[in-house]
C-alpha cells in the first residue's frame, strides 16, 4: 500500500466516524417532536458525507455506473417518499424489502468474489447476511402486498405450517453451517439464497392484518441485523453501527408491540401468530344492542365536557381522519375537551394513528398513550370509538376463554357513554366478539366512519344556529 492510498483511507474512515456520530444524534433527536426534524437533517448530512467519502475509495475505477445507479435509485425513491400517509405501512414494508434486497445482492457478490478462500468467521457472517436478507426481502414484499391489499389480508394457515416453515429455515441454516466447514462447496450457496426466499413467503402467509405492527417491526429488525452482518463482510464499521441501531430499533418496537398484544416474544419469533381466529364466533346468543342516529350522537357529544376519541384501523380505511378533525374543531369550539386515546397496536404499524391524526392537523399533545389515558376514562363523558375493535374489547380483561385475554386494552367501557361507529354487527377482522357493544352504556352508530362523522359534524353545526 502506498502512503498516498493510506492517506485517503484515513480520510474515509474519519468521514465515516463523523457520519456515525450524526446517525446516533439523528436517533437521539427523534425523542421529541420538537427536535425530530433536526434528526432527519443530521441523518441526511451523515448519509451524504458517507457516500461522498466512499467515492474517494482508491479501488474505484468506474464512476459512471455509480452515478447512473444513484440517479435511478433517487428516481425511484422520490415517488416512494411522496406516498399518501395512509400508504405509509406498505411503503415501509417495501423499503424493508429494498434494504434486504441490497444486502442480499452484496452478500452474494462478495461470496462469489471471495470463494473458495473464505475463513470460517467470514463465511458465517456472509451466510447470516444472505439468509436474513433474502427472508426479509420476500417477507417484506408479502407484508407490503397484504397491506396494499393486492394479497388476501386474512391469515392463510394449514396443518403443520410451523413444521414446514422451521424445516425450511433449518435446511438453509444447515447449508450455511456446511459452507462454513467446507468453504469449497460453492454449489450449496444458491440453496442458501433461495430457501430463505420461500421461507419469507411462508412466514407471512399465516399473518393477519391485526398482527402487522409486530411483523413490520420484526422485519425492520431483521433488515437491520442483515445490514450489520454485511458491515462485517465489507468491513465497514459505519454499516455495523447503522445496522445495529436499526436492528435494536426494530427489536424494541417488536417488544412494545408484543406487550401491547400480550404475546410472548418467542411466539412472534417463530411466526406462530394469526391462530387467533379459530376459537372465535362461538356461543352467540341474542343480546340487545342500542343504536343511535347522528342527531342523537351529536346531542350527547355537545352536552359532554370531556370526550375521548379512540381511533383504529377502520378510521384509516375509511380515510375519516380529516372529518375527525372537523369534529374535533366543532367540539373544541363549544368548549368540550377532546383528546385521542392511542393504543400501541392501533393501525397497521407502530405509531400509525399518530401520523394520520397529525396529518389531519390534530395537535400532538392531544394524542395520549394508552397508559396515560386509561385512568381518565371513568371521568370521561363520551368515549367515541372510530374503527377500533379488539383494542377496546373488555373481554381481554375478564374472559379467560377469549383469544385476546390478557391483552392490555383501552378501558372505554368505563366512560359514562360509549359510542362506537361501525359498519355492521359483523365481528371484526379477527372474528372476536366484542361484549363492549352489548353494554348498557354503549350506543352503536352504524355506518361508514367518514360519512357518520360528517353527519355528526353537520348536526353540531345545525344546532349552533
Partner 1 sequence: MNSALIDGLFVFMLAGFIGFEVIKRVSPLLHTPLMSLTNALDAIAVVGAIVLVGEHKSNFSFILGVLAVIAATSNVVGGFLITDRMLKMFKSSRPTKP
Binder among 11, 76, 181, 464 for partner 1 (CB under 8 A) = 76
Nearest to 169 by CA among 141, 132, 206, 137: 132
Return the residues of window 342-361 that contact partner 1 according to CB under 8 A. 342, 344, 349-352, 354-355, 358-359, 361
Which residue lies nearer to partner 1 by CB, 41 or 461?
41
What is the closest distance, in whole angstroms, from the C-beta atom of residue 18 to partner 1 in the complex?
A: 13
Listed in sequence order, the residues at least 6 apart from 32 whose beta carbon sits closer than 8 Å to its beta carbon are none
**8 lies in the site for partner 1, by CB under 8 A:** no
Nearest to 333 by CA among 161, 464, 203: 464
Distance of CA 227 to the CA centre of its chain: 19
Calpha distance 445→452 (Å, rounded)? 8
Q: What is the grid cell recorded at 34?
A: 420538537
DSSP string of 308-329, one letter each residue? EEEE-HHHHHTT-HHHHHHHHH
Query: Would you say 13 and 6 are in contact if contact means Cβ atoms under 8 Å apart?
Result: no
**406 lies in the site for partner 1, by CB under 8 A:** no
Point out which span in 66-74, 202-210, 304-312, 318-326 binds partner 1 (CB under 8 A): 66-74
**313 lies in the site for partner 1, by CB under 8 A:** no
Point out which span in 161-169, 366-374, 401-409, 411-419 binds partner 1 (CB under 8 A): 366-374
Residues paired with residue 269 on neighbouring β-strands, in sequence order: none
**45 lies in the site for partner 1, by CB under 8 A:** no
Point out which span in 104-112, 273-281, 285-293, 382-390 binds partner 1 (CB under 8 A): 104-112
Give the count of alpha carbons within 13 A of 319, CB side only: 4
What is the closest distance, in whole angstroms, from the C-beta atom of residue 160 to partner 1 in the complex?
A: 33
What is the closest distance, in whole angstroms, from the C-beta atom of residue 26 to partner 1 in the complex?
A: 7
Point out which span in 145-153, 310-318, 362-370, 449-457 binds partner 1 (CB under 8 A): 362-370
**105 lies in the site for partner 1, by CB under 8 A:** yes
Which residue lies nearer to partner 1 by CB, 94 or 142?
94
Per-residue DSSP letter, 296: H
Query: Would you say 224 and 250 are in contact if contact means Cβ atoms under 8 Å apart?
Result: yes
Which residue lies nearer to partner 1 by CB, 109 or 464?
109
Q: What is the grid cell recorded at 44?
A: 441526511
**282 lies in the site for partner 1, by CB under 8 A:** no
**63 lies in the site for partner 1, by CB under 8 A:** yes
What is the closest distance, in whole angstroms, from the C-beta atom of residue 12 to partner 1 in the complex?
A: 9
Between the CA of residue 119 and those of 122, 177, 185, what are the distances in Å?
A: 5, 13, 13
Binder among 86, 88, 132, 277 for partner 1 (CB under 8 A) = 88
Number of residues that bind partner 1 (CB under 8 A): 115
Candidates 62, 286, 365, 390; catalytic one: 390
Which residue lies nearer to partner 1 by CB, 101 or 437?
101
Return the residues of window 180-209 that contact partner 1 according to CB under 8 A. none
**320 lies in the site for partner 1, by CB under 8 A:** no
What is the closest distance, in whole angstroms, from the C-beta atom of residue 426 to partner 1 in the complex?
A: 29
Query: Would you say 345 and 257 are in contact if contact means Cβ atoms under 8 Å apart?
Result: yes
DSSP H helical segments within 185-293, as ranges?
188-204, 212-233, 237-260, 265-269
Q: What is the grid cell recorded at 177?
A: 453451517
Return the residues of window 220-279 that contact partner 1 according to CB under 8 A. 220, 223-224, 227-228, 230-250, 252-253, 256
Between the CA of residue 83 and those of 75, 77, 78, 80, 347, what are the distances in Å?
A: 14, 10, 9, 6, 17
Is 399 one of the annotated active-site residues of the chain?
no
Give the 3-state secondary structure of residue 416: coil
Binder among 31, 264, 305, 463 for partner 1 (CB under 8 A) = 31
Catalytic residues: 390
Amino acid at each position: 500500500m502506498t502512503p498516498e492510498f493510506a492517506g485517503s483511507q484515513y480520510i474515509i474512515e474519519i468521514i465515516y466516524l463523523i457520519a456515525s456520530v450524526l446517525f446516533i444524534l439523528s436517533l437521539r433527536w427523534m425523542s421529541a417532536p420538537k427536535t425530530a426534524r433536526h434528526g432527519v437533517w443530521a441523518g441526511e448530512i451523515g448519509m451524504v458525507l458517507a457516500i461522498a467519502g466512499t467515492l474517494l475509495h482508491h479501488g474505484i475505477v468506474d464512476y459512471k455506473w455509480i452515478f447512473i445507479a444513484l440517479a435511478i435509485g433517487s428516481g425511484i425513491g422520490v415517488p416512494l417518499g411522496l406516498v399518501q400517509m395512509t400508504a405509509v405501512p406498505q411503503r415501509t414494508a417495501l423499503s424493508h424489502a429494498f434494504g434486504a434486497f441490497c444486502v442480499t445482492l452484496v452478500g452474494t457478490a462478495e461470496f462469489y468474489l471471495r470463494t473458495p478462500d473464505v475463513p470460517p468467521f467470514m463465511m458465517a457472517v456472509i451466510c447470516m447476511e444472505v439468509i436474513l436478507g433474502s427472508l426479509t426481502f420476500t417477507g417484506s414484499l408479502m407484508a407490503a402486498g397484504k397491506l396494499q391489499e393486492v394479497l388476501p389480508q386474512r391469515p392463510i394457515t394449514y396443518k403443520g405450517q410451523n413444521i414446514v416453515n422451521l424445516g425450511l429455515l433449518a435446511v438453509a441454516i444447515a447449508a450455511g453451517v456446511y459452507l462454513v466447514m467446507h468453504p469449497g462447496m460453492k454449489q450449496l450457496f444458491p440453496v442458501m439464497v433461495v430457501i430463505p426466499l420461500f421461507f419469507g413467503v411462508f412466514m407471512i402467509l399465516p399473518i393477519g392484518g391485526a398482527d402487522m405492527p409486530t411483523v413490520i417491526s420484526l422485519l425492520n429488525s431483521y433488515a437491520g441485523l442483515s445490514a450489520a452482518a454485511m458491515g462485517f463482510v465489507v468491513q465497514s464499521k459505519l454499516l455495523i453501527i447503522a445496522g445495529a441501531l436499526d436492528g435494536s430499533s426494530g427489536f424494541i418496537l417488536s417488544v412494545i408491540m408484543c406487550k401491547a398484544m400480550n404475546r410472548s416474544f418467542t411466539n412472534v419469533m417463530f411466526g406462530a401468530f394469526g391462530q387467533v381466529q379459530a376459537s372465535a364466533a362461538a356461543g352467540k346468543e341474542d343480546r340487545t344492542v342500542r343504536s343511535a342516529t347522528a342527531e342523537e350522537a351529536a346531542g350527547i357529544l355537545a352536552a359532554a365536557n370531556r370526550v375521548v376519541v379512540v381511533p383504529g384501523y377502520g378510521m384509516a380505511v375509511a380515510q375519516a381522519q380529516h372529518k375527525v378533525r372537523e369534529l374535533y374543531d366543532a367540539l373544541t369550539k363549544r368548549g368540550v375537551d377532546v383528546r385521542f386515546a392511542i393504543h400501541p397496536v392501533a393501525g397497521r404499524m407502530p405509531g400509525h394513528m399518530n401520523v394520520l391524526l397529525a396529518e389531519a392537523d390534530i395537535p400532538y399533545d392531544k394524542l395520549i398513550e394508552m397508559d396515560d389515558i386509561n385512568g381518565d376514562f371513568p371521568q370521561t363523558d363520551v368515549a367515541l370509538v372510530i374503527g377500533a375493535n379488539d383494542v377496546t374489547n373488555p373481554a381481554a380483561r375478564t374472559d379467560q376463554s377469549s383469544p385476546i385475554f390478557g391483552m392490555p386494552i383501552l378501558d372505554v367501557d368505563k366512560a359514562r357513554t360509549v359510542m362506537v361507529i361501525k359498519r355492521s354487527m359483523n365481528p371484526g377482522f379477527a372474528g372476536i366478539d366484542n361484549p363492549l357493544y352489548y353494554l348498557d352504556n354503549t350506543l352503536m352508530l352504524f355506518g361508514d366512519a367518514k360519512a357518520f362523522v360528517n353527519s355528526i359534524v353537520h348536526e353540531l353545526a345545525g344546532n349552533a344556529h
